[in-house]
């Protein structure tokens, strides 16, 4: 046989510019040159503009005194504090409202998501109406509504509306009693920590026993009993007590108690309501994603309703729910920057707003602010990647 060898050594003849490898290199060089040129152009312009405005750059302003007021701060704040302290105050305020929003939105969102799947007509319709209304209205508009139309329209301090448990609501926010634990209260925390350890150990033991003997142990109820029992025991034995300092109306404002400013309440409330609608959709999608066959298979294995949910449906639904849920949490954190529009002193408001205007260091302030959000985002995606790798379906 004398067929011609079609060997690999005879590389196809391609003209120089049609070779994909060479083309790729040329494209990349073009992109790189344009990008670098663009950056050089911007940096040059910025330097020229800054020089023309006699502005200096650098991060030294962080160690200068800020000299402005912040209406709501978790850290001690005075006009004499430094700019880096302002940064921390803003960051903490962002984290505070994000944390509260995430907790509340999760609870509300799961409730509404499950309600949407309810076989009860009225319940599922109410949930649908909620989701469709809230999702289609901009968050900023909702914040304005809660802040300007609801909270700012509350009566003045003198005519405060009294709520149960010694709380009051008026134009200046919500006033609730402040819990004051005494010195012995530390023991209660120790008791709680011990109880949590005990619960973890109990779960471990119950699982081992189930695997070894097949006997079930009512873990959930026992855990509850341990948590409340041990903590309560420490509370009683140590003689700890909590006193509540109620807010008292004085001449111009309430004294004592815990004051929640209207900006904070509106932002936390708005974020919760808005994000809950999205979480509800996530939850609904996740539960619906579990094939009916899974329920039927679990039934045919003889699992009871509770076990079916706990062992078969929920773990599979969670695999679908958790990734979008996390990105909703991240969205909520990013959306908390809208607090700047209603005057809640969070990061953007304090640092990219007031501090920037006072120092004129636009590039530095915005870069730091963006960097913080970038860190949140990277952290979230790192956790997500870890989780996804852990729950990934292992196929043949």
Separation CA 266–CA 158 (nearest Å): 21
Tell me the two tokens of residue 17.
């510019």
Q: Using the minimum distance from each CB to other proteins, give the nearer residue, 126 or 196.
A: 126
Considering the rule CB under 8 A, would residue 46 count as an interface residue with other proteins?
A: yes
Considering the rule CB under 8 A, would residue 294 count as an interface residue with other proteins?
A: no
Closest of 113, 133, 109 to residue 272, by C-alpha: 109
Contacts of 104 (CB under 8 A, 6+ apart): 268, 272, 276
Q: Using the minimum distance from each CB to other proteins, give the nearer residue, 59 or 148.
A: 148
Contacts of 242 (CB under 8 A, 6+ apart): 179, 180, 181, 182, 185
Considering the rule CB under 8 A, would residue 393 count as an interface residue with other proteins?
A: no
- 99-128 residues near other proteins, rule: CB under 8 A: 118-123, 126
What kind and span of H or E run contains 258? strand 258-260
What kind and span of H or E run contains 379? helix 362-391
Strands 161-163 and 242-245: unpaired
Stretch that binds other proteins, among 228-236, 246-254, 281-289, 306-314 (CB under 8 A): 281-289
- # chain residues binding other proteins, by CB under 8 A: 58
- 340-369 residues near other proteins, rule: CB under 8 A: 340-341, 348, 352, 356, 362-363, 366, 369
Out of 19, 37, 49, 197, the only residue in the binding site for other proteins (CB under 8 A) is: 49
Q: Using the minimum distance from each CB to other proteins, give the nearer residue, 238 or 331.
A: 331
Out of 14, 31, 200, 311, the only residue in the binding site for other proteins (CB under 8 A) is: 31
Considering the rule CB under 8 A, would residue 96 count as an interface residue with other proteins?
A: no
Backbone angles phi, psi at 170, to 5 degrees: -155, -170
Helix (H, G, I), strand (E, B) or coil at 2: coil
Reported residue count of the chain is 396
**What would the x/- binding string for other proteins be over residues 233 to 272, using CB under 8 A?**
----------------------------------------
Out of 374, 383, 385, 388, the only residue in the binding site for other proteins (CB under 8 A) is: 374
Measure the CA angle with vertex 105, ends 100 and 106; round to 5°: 105
Separation CA 223–CA 83 (nearest Å): 47
Out of 10, 153, 221, 393, the only residue in the binding site for other proteins (CB under 8 A) is: 153
Q: Using the minimum distance from each CB to other proteins, give the nearer residue, 152 or 207.
A: 152
The CA distances from residue 180 to 72, 189, 258, in Å, are 20, 14, 11
Considering the rule CB under 8 A, would residue 328 count as an interface residue with other proteins?
A: no
Considering the rule CB under 8 A, would residue 133 count as an interface residue with other proteins?
A: yes
Q: Using the minimum distance from each CB to other proteins, give the nearer residue, 201 or 374.
A: 374
Q: Using the minimum distance from each CB to other proteins, give the nearer residue, 178 or 334.
A: 334
Considering the rule CB under 8 A, would residue 138 count as an interface residue with other proteins?
A: yes
Closest of 150, 152, 181, 156 to residue 168, by C-alpha: 156
Considering the rule CB under 8 A, would residue 45 count as an interface residue with other proteins?
A: yes
Q: Please report how many Cα atoms fall inside a 13 Å half-sphere around the Cα of residue 265, on the Cβ side.
A: 21
Burial of 228 (0-12, 13-18, 19+ CB in 10 A): exposed
Q: Catalog residues that contact other proteins under the rule CB under 8 A.
A: 24, 27-28, 31-32, 35, 42, 45-46, 48-50, 52, 118-123, 126, 132-133, 135-142, 144-145, 148-149, 153, 285, 288-289, 291, 334-335, 337-338, 340-341, 348, 352, 356, 362-363, 366, 369-370, 373-374, 376-378
């Amino acid at each position: 046989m004398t067929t011609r060898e079609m060997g690999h050594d005879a590389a196809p003849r391609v003209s120089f510019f049609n070779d994909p490898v060479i083309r790729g290199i040329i494209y990349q060089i073009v992109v790189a040159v344009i990008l670098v040129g663009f950056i050089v152009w911007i940096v040059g312009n910025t330097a020229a503009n800054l020089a023309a405005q006699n502005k200096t750059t650098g991060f030294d302003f962080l160690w200068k005194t800020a000299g402005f007021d912040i209406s709501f701060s978790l850290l001690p704040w005075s006009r004499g504090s430094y700019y880096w302290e302002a940064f921390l105050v803003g960051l903490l305020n962002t984290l505070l409202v994000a944390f509260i929003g995430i907790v509340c939105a999760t609870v509300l969102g799961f409730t509404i998501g499950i309600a949407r799947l309810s076989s009860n007509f009225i319940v599922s319709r109410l949930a649908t109406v909620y989701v469709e209304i809230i999702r289609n209205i901009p968050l900023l508009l909702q914040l304005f509504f809660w802040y300007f139309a609801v909270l700012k329209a509350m009566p003045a301090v003198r005519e405060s509306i009294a709520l149960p448990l010694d709380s009051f609501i008026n134009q200046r926010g919500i006033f609730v009693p402040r819990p004051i634990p005494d010195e012995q209260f530390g023991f209660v925390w120790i008791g709680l920590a011990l109880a949590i350890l005990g619960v973890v150990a109990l779960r471990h033991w119950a699982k081992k026993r189930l695997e070894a003997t097949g006997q079930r142990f009512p873990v959930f109820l026992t855990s509850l009993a341990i948590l409340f029992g041990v903590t309560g025991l420490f509370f009683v034995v140590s003689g700890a007590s909590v006193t509540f300092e109620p807010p008292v109306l004085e001449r111009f404002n309430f004294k004592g108690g815990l004051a929640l400013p209207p900006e904070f309440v509106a932002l936390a409330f708005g974020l919760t309501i808005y994000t809950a609608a999205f979480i509800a959709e996530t939850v609904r999608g996740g539960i619906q994603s579990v094939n009916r066959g899974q329920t039927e298979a679990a039934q045919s294995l003889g699992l009871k309703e509770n076990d079916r949910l706990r062992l078969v449906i929920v773990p599979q639904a969670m695999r679908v729910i958790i990734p979008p849920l996390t990105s909703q949490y991240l969205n909520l954190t990013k959306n908390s920057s809208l607090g700047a529009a209603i005057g809640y002193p969070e990061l953007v408001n304090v640092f990219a707003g007031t501090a920037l205007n006072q120092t004129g260091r636009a590039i530095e302030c915005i870069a730091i602010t963006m960097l913080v959000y970038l860190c949140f985002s990277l952290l979230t995606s790192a956790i997500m990647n870890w989780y996804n790798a852990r729950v990934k379906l292992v196929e043949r």
